[in-house]
Amino acid sequence: MLNAKIPAGPLNTKWEDYKGHCKLVNPANKRNLEIIVIGTGLAGASAAASLGELGYKVKAFCFQDSPRRAHSIAAQGGINAAKNYQNDGDSVYRLFYDTVKGGDYRAREANVHRLAEVSGNIIDQCVAQGVPFAREYGGLLSNRSFGGTQVQRTFYAAGQTGQQLLLGAYSALERQVALGNVTMYSRHEMLDIVKIDGKARGIIARNLITGQLERHFGHAVLICSGGYGNVFFLSTNAMGSNVTAAWKATQNGAYFANPCFTQIHPTCIPVSGDHQSKLTLMSESLRNDGRIWVPKKKDDNRKASDIPEEERDYYLERRYPAFGNLVPRDVASRAAKERCDAGYGVGTSKQAVYLDFAAAIERYGSIEANKRQMHGVSKEEIIKLGKEVVAEKYGNLFDMYAKITGENPYETPMRIYPAVHYTMGGLWVDYELQTTVPGLYSLGEANFSDHGANRLGASALMQGLADGYFVLPYTIGNYLADEIRVKAIPTDHPAFAEAESKVRDRIAKLMSIKGTKSVDFFHKKLGKIMWDKCGMARNEQGLKEAIEEIKALRAEFYKDVRIPGDENEFNPELEKAGRVADFLELGELMCIDALNRRESCGGHFREESQTEEGEAKRDDENFSYVAAWEYKGPSDYVLHKEELVFEEVKPTQRSYK
């Protein structure tokens, strides 16, 4: 069994006790210790800034031209924290409970409780950095609701919360760069880990502008490179998002945990054709005020405005009255799929449902009229006032929808459908965020630790910043305190030469194929296999077929992929080829993991395991564990289990009714 190194004692004192007893590194010694950070999104930027502030020598790597381009910028709706500003019953325990339940009891209690504990600190830190959170009339920070909760705990900055939080972390990072504590390597991609005596001691990186390979030493390496949703090709992730850093860690001995736990987001703009390279998210915050419905009549081709109220099925409110439109993402996604599969979908593709703001606009308009002491106003005037309020809260999201679809969401309901969004699986880490390779850590979406089988909305930003600002700076000291006598290892060490040689051989192999098909051809084919057979619903036959199809596709890739250009120059197709090669291995492991987990939980829905009402049916007796896979080679994996123990929150069949 894997040892998660969870501290003893009551759940609500574990983190404080850990911090009081972990080893420390004194300031003079910190100046002699080097740390490599891969990725500069919220997790990486906050970690690099915090470690630089503490006095460590930090090297930060990102494949974008600036940390400001990290995909964290795309997060829209908000960040959770147990501040209880609304006085509506929220607490650290309630946030912990909602997160464990929302993850369908497949997360580690100790990590989730720590996350809830530090959540309030994150808001204070970001406010101090100048993040422009929305505020109430009196000046207090505003909150809104998100799925899977019955309180308002989501802090937000219009529909661009991720961008504003990233700018806060980026400003803290750039301060450390200016002070000389952090060295920034943009347009660099990590292509391998260097291990010496079993410990992570550096990386091999490729300069994406020149094509040159570089060797970099570090006493520890942090993987903060985000999730792997782009294995499906079409997802809400930026096209550059990939699994390569995490996968190279896996190939070097770091176990990969729960790869089949992928999140389908219920509110995305539907696929419009084969021309698309990505999908666009409409923030879950829209479910805060919007109502989701389909026509009660099958194949109803009328305009939404022509369908009277009594002929509309507000199916989430009907099926889940306690939570209504704010059920967790996995529940809302499956419900939308069920309605569309049953013939009630809307739009030309019939693969969409309506997200309607008409009632919210009218409600806000009436409130605004009352605030202005306007009496006897017309319905048109109320709607005008309501649109102004909605524009203030969600305006950039509505503008984005209008630009993409050509439709005015203030006048007609949005059309939405589920799409791949976030990955709960990732590198296995213990309580200290260390992988199974000593000195190799993983933060944010790149690790598996805090969300179980389904992430609640607005928790991704919370986890990324919690790991970087408030967890890793403590836990890494516990490891580095024993490394203070280790001098910087020269990069002409044989282990560096061997790792670089491995990378050169991989690149040469890809460049030598000179086939006839583009990298995107293979990526799209892989994505279709994954979506059809390891997407919103999975079954044994489909997963077995997918495994064989991916193996065949991988063989074809290595025979017939065409990569133009040269390896020693700026070559985006070579970058993509390396990433797709990794996806072709990861995709197979995802299907193996999904086949092994013969239960339904959260974002993993096995058709053979569902209740009479079509809800996910867990098997706690046999599958209450983290599945951590050890890489032995392509198609060769060994399963290691971390048993999940629930002392505070006893697993029950999830109900949002």
Q: Tell me which of 349 and 564 has the higher pLDDT.
A: 564
Q: Tell the residue number behind the tokens 């980026």, with chain if given.
A: 170
Which domains does the chain possess?
266-420 (3.90.700.10), 497-623 (1.20.58.100)
With b for 16 or more beta-carbon neighbours within 10 A and e for fewer, the 590-617 pattern comes to bbbbbbebebbbbbbbbeebeeeeebbb
Percent of the chain with pLDDT over 70: 100
* Structure confidence by residue, pLDDT tens digits, 264-318: 999 999 988 777 889 999 988 899 899 999 999 999 999 999 999 999 999 999 9
- Catalytic-residue membership of 329: yes
**pLDDT band of 492, cuts 50, 70, 90:** very high
**Nearest CA-CA partner of 196 in 215, 217, 213, 214:** 217
pLDDT at 285: 87
Catalytic residue among 329, 334, 339, 579: 329
Percent of the chain with pLDDT over 90: 93
pLDDT at 277: 85
Q: Summarize the chain as % helix, strand, coil (round to 5).
A: 45, 15, 40
Mean pLDDT of 638-647: 97
For residue 260, give both structure tokens. 């089949």
pLDDT at 653: 86
Mean pLDDT of 555-561: 98
Instruction: DSSP for 574-622, please give it.
Output: HHHHHHHHHHHHHHHHHHHHHHH--S-BTTB-BTTSB-TTS-B---HHH
Mean pLDDT of 362-366: 96
Residue type, 210: T
Computed over every residue of the chain, the mean pLDDT equals: 96
Tell me how crowded residue 29 is: count the other CB atoms within 10 A of its CB.
Answer: 16
Name, in order, each residue with C-beta under 8 angstroms of 13's C-beta and a sequence gap of 6 or more. none
pLDDT at 274: 77
Between the alpha carbon of residue 162 and those of residues 90, 192, 500, 572, the distances in Å are 23, 29, 35, 26
The alpha carbon dihedral of 221, 227, 231, 234 has a sign of negative
pLDDT at 654: 85
**pLDDT band of 137, cuts 50, 70, 90:** confident
pLDDT at 166: 98
**pLDDT band of 195, cuts 50, 70, 90:** very high
* Structure confidence by residue, pLDDT tens digits, 442-468: 999 999 999 999 999 999 999 999 999
Angle (CA) 415-416-422 rounded to 5° is 160
pLDDT at 288: 84
Mean pLDDT of 128-136: 95
* Structure confidence by residue, pLDDT tens digits, 84-107: 998 999 999 999 999 999 999 999
pLDDT at 448: 98
Tell me how crowded residue 494 is: count the other CB atoms within 10 A of its CB.
Answer: 8
Query: Please, which residues bridge with residue 80 across strands?
Result: 154
pLDDT at 126: 97
What is the Cα Rg of the chain in Å? 24
